[in-house]
Chains A and B, each alone.
Chain A
Amino acid sequence: MFAFLIRRLVQAVLVMLIISFIGFSLKHAFGDPVRDLVGVSVSKEERDKIAEKLGLHDPVMVQYVRFLKNALTGDLGYSYFFKKPALDVILSKAPATLELVFAASLIIVFLSIPAGVYAAIRPRSFLSRLIMGSSIVGVSIPVFFTAIMMIYIFSVELHWAPSFGRGELVTLFGFWPSGLVTLDGLEHLIMPSIALSSIMLPLFIRLIQAEMMEALQSEYVKFAFAKGLKTFRIYMVHAFKNTLLPVITVGGVQLGTMIAFTILTETVFNWQGMGAMFVEAVERGDTSLLVAYLVFVGMVFIVVNTCVDLVYGLVNPMVRVAGRK
């Protein structure tokens, strides 16, 4: 397990280096930090002075190494629009996004597993056909459409749920503004989290159903029946545990994707998270913030994927042995 961790860590560092280089190149190629800082009405000499001060005249590699050094100390640049360090801006927006993703993940886990497993066990039943049919429809409807329709039906027409914002927040642990602990906050969370899960949920139902069907066809399941085991145990222990392996792999990638790309949902519901911040940064041409976000998201992906690999190792005995060596 230790060697496995080390190997993953080395990989992570390499990936981060590549991401940071791409980020840095972007920063170097686009945008003009001096203009972001002082606008257009300042004279050429003034600009040159500021550029010199910021080190913008140094060779590219020198700038990159400086960028890396700063990044290692947690300094991902300065957002000229928010007038704050970029990382601070991102971290202040992160709780909103993470809570949204958390709620959407709960919906996905608790609906896709029973639905997928049921559809695999009784593929010919009416309910299974309904599940599988509507999952195709679900995958094909874009998130913004789902979100807007939900707002129209449940907020505008029925007045059941609020249509924008996070509602009443309580600061937890001194830094985490949370909507999970107030009723109002939870009400605000319902529709955005459903909208965010609307693509992944059908995807996971289909994945779980397909993998479970395959497991049920296997010889070991047939042998389990021949051993006279109870049907419930065969489904849940023999078939489902094998179904989990590919689901965990895909789930890890998708979890990272959800954290990084809540943009549509956050925009429609005016949810002040990282997605909304990203759109803002694009509109303002805040290159530093965009690059910092890129690096941050790369980091999130790596952390999530490493965790997923560890969980995978717990379920799949073959990985564990490879790790022990």
Chain B
Amino acid sequence: MAALLTVNNLNVVFSMRFGDLRAVNDVSFSLESGQRLGLVGESGAGKSVTGFSIINLISRPGRIASGSITFEGRELTTLSPEEMRKLRGDRISMIFQDPMMTLNPVLTLGAQMTETLLAHENITRRQAEERAVETLKKVYIPSPDRRLGQYPHELSGGMRQRIIIAIALLTNPSLIIADEPTTALDVTIQAEILDLLYELTVNERMGLILITHDLAVVSQVTERIAVMYGGRIVETGPTMAVIDNPSHPYTRGLIGALPESAGGQRRLNQIQGAMPSLYHMPSGCAFHPRCPLAMDVCAKETPKLCETGERGTLTACFKTAACEAASL
């Protein structure tokens, strides 16, 4: 199958007064059309920055320093701002984290939906409104034709996230990037929204990049997973293979920390320490200060992704997979 999106050796830096901070470090992954990929990691792992860099929406002073992003055969890193604008919201849509903040409080839902269509397609307002109502039906919004005149504050958080998903779907994009789409919602609504995302991306054969810190969310929706730590992908492969048989110590730690893994213990297992900040990134493998298996070499050299015993999965660890050191 043809690759929908290929990210190669992506580096994103934030240029500060005292020098560059590297938020995304040598990240590569690819996605086939209709495939669903989960980007997993703690806060600060670089997963959101990776997602936003695809449509070149990294907040300042971040920028793509090097690497290539190919989407439907086009190189995205060299597109002009206008070409990028035409792509955004048309071929690649985004779903944001907090539905309470994502919609503009002073514009009607109708205005916020139709403006996307009007920005990308040569249609009348009337046609755009019809399309908006149709799309609202797809995301199971009750009495959709009444919604266009309403304002965001008249809807609940779950409903607003459905509207945002509808906005993302309006133009039939081939890729949706969802940045923590369920984090701000309560648990019962989370499940509904995930089901909806799953159903829609499967039915419409859309690619999905699901950015989340929640392994349970990833395992429900995605086929492939990439675990990020300190700006790098440390393990990637088919979702179930990685979750059933993790090889990187960080992934093992994450899965071990799930309440289900605690068995009858009173305390949950946790990974000691905290995610390093960009200002104090450890040398070598960024995970080594917290790693129970760390060796001397881990503090000096950074491991490259390499094959593990498990079919189709790659990991970056000297201990569990005997990877080579990265040349950087």
CB within 8 Å of B: which residues of A?
Answer: 218-220, 222-231, 233, 237-238, 241-242, 245, 315-318, 321
Q: How far is the CA of A227 from the CA of B102 in the complex (A)?
A: 11
Contacts of B85 in A (CB 8 A): 228-231
Q: How far is the CA of A316 from the CA of B107 in the complex (A)?
A: 9
**Contacts A219-B101, A242-B105, A317-B106 given: A226-B55 contact, CB under 8 Å?**
yes
Contacts of B88 in A (CB 8 A): 225-228
Residues 75 to 102 of chain B near chain A (Cβ within 8 Å): 85-90, 93-94, 96-98, 101-102
**Contacts A220-B101, A220-B103, A242-B104 given: A321-B154 contact, CB under 8 Å?**
yes
Contacts of A220 in B (CB 8 A): 101-105
Residues 115 to 129 of chain B near chain A (Cβ within 8 Å): 115-116, 119-120
Contacts of A317 in B (CB 8 A): 105-106, 108, 151, 153
Contacts of A218 in B (CB 8 A): 101
**Contacts A225-B57, A228-B89, A228-B116 given: A219-B107 contact, CB under 8 Å?**
no
Is A316's CB under 8 angstroms from B116's CB? no
Q: How far is the CA of A227 from the CA of B55 in the complex (A)?
A: 10
Contacts of B87 in A (CB 8 A): 228
B97 to chain A minimum Cβ distance, whole angstroms, is: 8
Instruction: Name A230's contact: one of B108, B119, B154, B164 (CB within 8 Å).
Output: B119
A-B contact pairs, 20 of them (CB 8 A): A218-B101, A219-B97, A219-B98, A223-B102, A225-B57, A226-B57, A226-B89, A226-B94, A227-B88, A227-B116, A227-B167, A228-B89, A228-B116, A231-B85, A237-B115, A241-B107, A245-B106, A317-B106, A317-B153, A318-B153
Contacts of B105 in A (CB 8 A): 220, 242, 317-318
**Contacts A229-B89, A317-B105 given: A223-B115 contact, CB under 8 Å?**
no
**Contacts A225-B57, A226-B55 given: A237-B86 contact, CB under 8 Å?**
no
Instruction: Name A228's contact: one of B59, B103, B119 (CB within 8 Å).
Output: B119
B83 to chain A minimum Cβ distance, whole angstroms, is: 11
B185 to chain A minimum Cβ distance, whole angstroms, is: 15
Is B96's CB under 8 angstroms from A227's CB? no
Residues 130 to 184 of chain B near chain A (Cβ within 8 Å): 151, 153-154, 164, 167
A249 to chain B minimum Cβ distance, whole angstroms, is: 14
Is B106's CB under 8 angstroms from A242's CB? yes
A57 to chain B minimum Cβ distance, whole angstroms, is: 59
Contacts A219-B102, A226-B88, A227-B88 supplied; 6 other A-B pairs, CB < 8 Å: A218-B101, A223-B94, A228-B85, A228-B86, A228-B89, A317-B106
Nearest chain B residue, comparing its CB with the CB of A223: B102
Q: How far is the CA of A242 from the CA of B154 in the complex (A)?
A: 18
Q: How far is the CA of A103 from the CA of B312 in the complex (A)?
A: 74
What are the 7 A-B residue pairs with the smallest beta carbon separation, nearest first?
A: A228-B89, A228-B88, A227-B89, A219-B101, A317-B151, A226-B94, A220-B104
**Contacts A223-B96, A321-B154 given: A229-B115 contact, CB under 8 Å?**
yes
Contacts of A230 in B (CB 8 A): 85, 119
Contacts of B107 in A (CB 8 A): 237-238, 241
Helix, strand, loop or mixed for chain A's interface? helix
Q: Which of B108, B115, B153 has the most CB of A within 10 A?
A: B115
Q: How far is the CA of A231 from the CA of B97 in the complex (A)?
A: 22
**Contacts A220-B102, A242-B104 given: A229-B116 contact, CB under 8 Å?**
yes
Nearest chain A residue, comparing its CB with the CB of B154: A321
B279 to chain A minimum Cβ distance, whole angstroms, is: 22
Q: How far is the CA of A178 from the CA of B103 in the complex (A)?
A: 47
A72 to chain B minimum Cβ distance, whole angstroms, is: 40
Nearest chain A residue, comparing its CB with the CB of B108: A317
Q: How far is the CA of A134 from the CA of B87 in the complex (A)?
A: 41
**Contacts A226-B57, A227-B116 given: A219-B96 contact, CB under 8 Å?**
yes
A201 to chain B minimum Cβ distance, whole angstroms, is: 26
B150 to chain A minimum Cβ distance, whole angstroms, is: 9
Q: Which of A224, A231, A233 has the most CB of B within 10 A?
A: A224
Instruction: Name B104's contact: one of A228, A238, A318 (CB within 8 Å).
Output: A238
Is A228's CB under 8 angstroms from B106's CB? no
Contacts of A315 in B (CB 8 A): 106
Q: How far is the CA of A111 from the CA of B35 in the complex (A)?
A: 52
Q: How far is the CA of A226 from the CA of B107 in the complex (A)?
A: 17
Q: How far is the CA of A89 from the CA of B57 in the complex (A)?
A: 62
Q: Which of A223, A227, A315 has the most CB of B within 10 A?
A: A227
Is B93's CB under 8 angstroms from A226's CB? yes
Q: How far is the CA of A169 from the CA of B90 in the complex (A)?
A: 60
B211 to chain A minimum Cβ distance, whole angstroms, is: 13
Contacts of A245 in B (CB 8 A): 106
A78 to chain B minimum Cβ distance, whole angstroms, is: 50
Contacts of A237 in B (CB 8 A): 107, 115
Is B89's CB under 8 angstroms from A222's CB? no
Contacts of B93 in A (CB 8 A): 226-227
Q: Which of B94, B120, B154, B164 has the most CB of A within 10 A?
A: B94
Is A227's CB under 8 angstroms from B115's CB? yes
Contacts of A316 in B (CB 8 A): 106
A179 to chain B minimum Cβ distance, whole angstroms, is: 38
Contacts of B101 in A (CB 8 A): 218-220
Nearest chain B residue, comparing its CB with the CB of A233: B115
Contacts of A318 in B (CB 8 A): 105, 151, 153
Is B96's CB under 8 angstroms from A222's CB? yes
Nearest chain B residue, comparing its CB with the CB of A231: B85
Q: How far is the CA of A238 from the CA of B59 in the complex (A)?
A: 18
B294 to chain A minimum Cβ distance, whole angstroms, is: 38
Contacts of A231 in B (CB 8 A): 85
Nearest chain B residue, comparing its CB with the CB of A316: B106
Nearest chain A residue, comparing its CB with the CB of B115: A229
Contacts of A227 in B (CB 8 A): 88-89, 93, 115-116, 119, 167
